[in-house]
Amino acid sequence: MLKHYKITITGKVQGVWYRKNTLNKTKELNIKGFVKNLDNGDVYIEAEGHENELNTLLDWCAKGPEFSKVDTVCFKESDLEYFEHFEILH
C-alpha cells in the first residue's frame, strides 16, 4: 500500500550534500517525491512509496550523509499526490 510522508530534518543538514544523497537513496528505494532546503536551515522531503521503504528512508534521514549532523526527523502522513519521480527542488 502506498503512503505519503512529509518529512522535516533539522540540524546541520544544508551544505553537506543532504539533498543529493537523499535523491540517491530514494532511487535505491523506488520512492517518488521531492527534497528541498528550507530558509530556516532545515531540509524538507515529501516522499511516496511503500511503508517499508518509507521507514527505511526515515532511518536513513536520521543518520544522513557523512558530513551532516541530524538533530531531529519529524514526519506526518498525508494524502497521496502520485509523484512520477523524485527530484531536488531549488
User: Is 37 designated active site?
Assistant: yes
- Compute the Cα dihedral for 26, 32, 37, 42 and give only its sign: negative
Among the listed residues 37, 40, 52, 55, the single catalytic one is 37
Let me know if 24 is a catalytic residue. no
Q: Is 57 helix (H, G, I), strand (E, B) or coil?
A: helix
Q: How many residues can be counted in the chain?
A: 90
DSSP per position, 28-60: HHT-EEEEEE-TTS-EEEEEEEEHHHHHHHHHH
Q: Which residues are catalytic?
A: 19, 37
